[in-house]
Structure 1
């Protein structure tokens, strides 16, 4: 089993869009495997796209949210709040096969649906970490791991692949995701604020200080205290990079390289925070070979990206032509698909 957390401590980098595209494409490339997306972002944008997009997906979300029992991540969290220190083994009952709502996604793609009620539950999740048993913090931080293991046991399949779409802030749900994941995919956009956000990821999760005396996060201190494993960095992904003209492309490339240099410096000092890809390639020995293994780029497909997310159609399955989005006709050109589809296909081919 491989569990990937998709996270950056910044909104607007296309985290949920990438989760939708990566999980859908991974399911397409691996038709004999079951793929599970766990949506712990209260906005549930990845769930909306997977279930059919801005219209059909929202209808599906409303139907699932109104169900009794509530077959969402918030429904599972309710179960855990009632049984914070003993696994109720109910995780599999909160899984939805995505194709039952959206015929555009592969049949082997499954989803634990996101839910805005996570925001209302957050204080009760935090309350469960203290007081309680001596290791209450550790037990609560295994809730997502318990859920994923419940699903694997129910399916009698230890070889599932899981993608967790995280809350952009470093919330309690992000901490649970970091505790459950084996590997980390870090999306970023090519701007200065994204560079600062990548630095925050390295500090909050891995305790890598940028200034002398900088305080470490409570999460990192407790992970160290309980000797828990951290996810290893598997990729950092420049998302929606522009190809509009040479000057803008050069400026974007400069920021991408600066972020790459930042992460390469972490590799040089703490290579144990990274997961060497199981592709037969040797362990990187230079900045060039490091970036070849860990740095990926996804070009902006403009209208094609909008239609893909709005209609819940994985971009590698899209065709050029006219589509209706919110009552308006939007034209997708083949040139737009050619910008992004090869990026998504090659990126996913590098994921174990």
Structure 2
């Protein structure tokens, strides 16, 4: 998550590539800027906190900072593609990331077709992941893989919740596309 915590720092320290989830909100857009400062530092360094940042500690201890490999527009409401408001906010975050790419392409993994424009950047680095709605909530609550969910009713805290097989199939397809992109 672009909003750093100690858990994020531990994960980043063990990673070679970053999958950066962003929600369709202004907080994610702002958090992406903060993420670059935390990962790579700022110029000039903050006079008090500069030596305690992840970036300075990674440099001090010789840790390689992983590169962004994919930006996942998380939980998009979809109809025929992403809903307009979700797409607009996700695109604004992609624009912020493209600006960072334009200045520091080394922060991102190399692609076969280096982006020359915002559209190219979105095509190379951004993936929209639909909201899994009820199917995802029930799957997570029950601790069952999404792939094992079938159409029917499932108990969630005393309530019978219907899971639609078509939504499960759509979610699995979205995950398969993301996984193919990551490989």
Give the TM-score taking structure 1 as reference length.
0.46
Match of 2:129 in 1: 298
Instruction: Please point out which of 18, 41, 47 is paired with 1:184.
Output: 18
Distance in 1 (alpha carbons) for counterparts of 2:109 and 2:41? 18
Root mean square deviation of aligned Cα = 2.4
Distance 1:286 1:324 in 2: 48
Name the residue aligned to 1:223: 58
Q: Distance in 1 between matches of 2:92 and 2:53?
A: 28
Equivalent position of 1:8 in the other structure: 2
Aligned equivalent of 1:236, options 59, 71, 77: 71
SS at match of 2:21: strand
User: In the alignment, is residue 344 of structure 1 matched against residue 175 of structure 2?
Assistant: yes
| Aligned-residue offset at 1:180 | 1.8
Provide the residue aligned with 1:57 in structure 2: none
Whether the 8 Å contact between 1:300 and 1:339 is mirrored in structure 2 is no
Q: CA deviation at 1:188?
A: 1.5
Q: 3-state SS of the aligned residue for 2:83?
A: helix
Larger strand share, 1 or 2: 2
Distance 2:155 2:74 in 1: 25
The CA distance in 2 between the partners of 1:208 and 1:295, in whole Å, is 25
Structure 1 residue runs of 5 or longer lacking an equivalent are: 1-6, 10-168
Conserved? CA contact 2:39–2:55, under 8 Å: yes
Q: Which has the higher contact order (CA 8 A, sep 6+)?
A: 1
Give 1:309 deviation, angstroms: 0.6
CA offset at residue 293 of structure 1?
Answer: 2.0
| SS of equivalent residue, structure 1 residue 347 | helix
The CA deviation at 1:207 is 2.1
Match of 1:256 among 83, 90, 107: 90
- 5+ long unaligned stretches in structure 2: none
Task: Supply the distance in 1 between the matched residues of 2:141 and 2:9 (Cα, whole angstroms).
Answer: 29
Q: Distance in 2 between matches of 1:303 and 1:319?
A: 12
Name the SS of the counterpart of 1:350 in structure 2. helix
TM-score (norm 2): 0.84
CA distance in 2 between partners of 1:317 and 1:270 (Å):
42
1:26-41 correspondence to structure 2 within 5 Å: none
Structure of larger gyration radius: 1
Give SS of 2:78's match.
coil
